[in-house]
Amino acid sequence: MMTADSIHRTLHTDGFITGLDIGTSKIAVIIGEVAESGMIRIMGVGSSPSQGLKQGVVVNLEHAIESIRRAVHEAQLTSGLQIRDVIVGISGDHVKSINSRGVVAVSRSDREIAKSDVERVIEAAKAIALPSDQEVLHILPQEFIVDSRKGIKTPIGLNGVRLEAEVHIVTGTITASQNIVRCVEKSGLNVIGRVLESLASSEAVLTPDERDLGVAVVDLGGGNTDIAMFYDGTVRHTAIVGLGGQNVTNDVALGLRTSIDQAEKIKRNYGCAYAGLVSPDDYFVAQSIGGREETEVTHEMLCTIIQPRMEEIFSLISKEIKRSAFGDKMGAGIVLTGGGALLKGARELARDIFGIAVKTGSPHMVNGLAESVHNPGFSTGVGLVMSGFTLIKPQDRKLRHMKSAISSKLQDWLDKYKELFHF
């Protein structure tokens, strides 16, 4: 279980971390380390089409395992490293969140707040009734209150009689998380941490100023759209809408009477979510199912299929933002990320529906194989790497780095041995 320290932006310099983004449409594996400058150096990238998952939940174990293995193999080839431990992203409509408050009396006789008081008040805040099938994924402190003094980020060392904590709690269905972990372990990997995908994406695309001013990250995935809202530097609200890019693809397939694979290619190559950007004279040729017929389709017609679904998704997100207590405090606007953010016209349509500034967010503070991940579709994977640097203790990362380097050299030696003796 991760706390606020796990999502903090303090990074360290030794060892490397692997992020595993198990999406509905794509599996992405990102290997990275932190350079002395504080930049994330991308050492390896792998991706493969996702199979066996639906809206972030495993529906076919063997297919999901094979998809993970393909992405891992590609990442290992590009990095020259042997992957063992991974940070895994969690999403799906089984994930829920709630804001909670805890209150304790300061224990020391001199009324100085100690670390133990902070731990006790967070324990008090997380004492909520949970269904038997739910588990806590994150407990994220938002602020502390000392004797009615609000807005305190670090209360240790202050004097007071009464200490309160407001926290954001994220929960998920136990079996859904277990099935994700099982897939990863059967792929030959070890899960060392789980991170809500919207929080991971936020790590990769947001600046501290945006977190302070108020911002909502909207991660447009294949099966789900993840939302994370920040204000005054901390997370205030998270939610998941059970619609994503695959719903758009299905609409295109149905409207044009073509296959899902063809519909996905058409969406990526010709799709637009905003009628104002489409020329009525442009067209393309679409094949029907089985390739029996070819039909000329105008971009305008395709837009009439795509735009209503995108309007529905953005309208649901808008309702979710307004439902939170911070919907009117989004001074930095909306940041669209995820693979769906690449759809032409998505930003313009979102701007009209939300009525505030909207930008597209890609991973920043990266170098190395940066061009491979400077894409909204890799925001979660890069964010998992960034989250991992605070999840794992520096000494543990260094030990893992040494073990991996030794394993990689040993594998090179074995390969040469086999080649030499035709083994």
pLDDT of residue 412: 53
The pLDDT of residue 144 is above 80? yes
How far is residue 336's CA from residue 387's CA, in Å, rounded to a whole number?
A: 20
Q: What is the average pLDDT across 400-408? A: 46
Return the percentage of the chain with pLDDT > 90, whole number: 75
What integer best gives the mean pLDDT of the chain? 88
d(C-alpha 100, C-alpha 340), whole Å: 32
The tokens describing 339, both together, are 């693979």
**Reported pTM:** 0.86
| Pick from 330, 332, 329, 91: nearest CA to 219 | 91
List pLDDT tens digits, range 130-139: 899 999 999 9
Q: Which of 77, 83, 89 is nearest to 20 (CA)?
A: 89
pLDDT of residue 56: 81
Query: What mean pLDDT comes out for the span 407-418?
Result: 48
Give the tens place of pLDDT for each residue, 284-334: 998 877 666 788 999 999 999 999 999 999 999 999 999 998 989 999 999
Q: Which two tokens stand for residue 178?
A: 């277990």
* CA separation for the pair 385, 406 (Å, rounded): 22
Domains of the chain plus CATH, in order, are: 96-174 (3.30.1490.110), 245-305 (3.30.420.40)
pLDDT in the model for residue 402: 46
Secondary structure of the chain in HEC code, one letter for each residue: CEEHHHHCCCCCCCCCEEEEEECCCEEEEEEEEECCCCCEEEEEEEEEECCCEECCEECCHHHHHHHHHHHHHHHHHHHCCCCCEEEEEECCCCCEEEEEEEEEECCCCCCECCHHHHHHHHHHHCCCCCCCCEEEEEEEEEEEEECCEEEECCCCCCECCEEEEEEEEEEEEHHHHHHHHHHHHHCCCEEEEEEEHHHHHHHHHCCHHHHHHCEEEEEECCCCEEEEEEECCEEEEEEEECCCHHHHHHHHHHHHCCCHHHHHHHHHHHCECCHHHCCCCCEEEEECHHHCCEEEEEHHHHHHHHHHHHHHHHHHHHHHHHHCCCCCCCCCCEEEECHHHHCECHHHHHHHHHCCCEEECCCCCEEECHHHHCCHHHHHHHHHHHHHHHHCCHHHHHHHHHHHHHHHHHHHHHHHHHHHHCC
**Where does the pLDDT of residue 280 fall: very low under 50, low under 70, confident under 90, or very high at 90 and above?**
confident
Confidence of residue 96 (pLDDT cuts 50, 70, 90): very high
Q: What is the pLDDT of residue 5?
A: 39
Task: Identify the pLDDT of residue 38.
Answer: 67
Confidence of residue 34 (pLDDT cuts 50, 70, 90): confident
According to the model, what pLDDT value does residue 413 have? 47
User: 200-255, pLDDT tens digit by residue?
Assistant: 999 999 999 999 999 999 999 999 999 999 999 999 999 999 999 999 999 999 99
Residue 73 has pLDDT above 60, yes or no: yes
Q: What is the pLDDT of residue 292?
A: 67
pLDDT at 253: 95
What confidence score (pLDDT) does residue 422 get? 47
Task: Flag whether pLDDT at 405 surpasses 70.
Answer: no
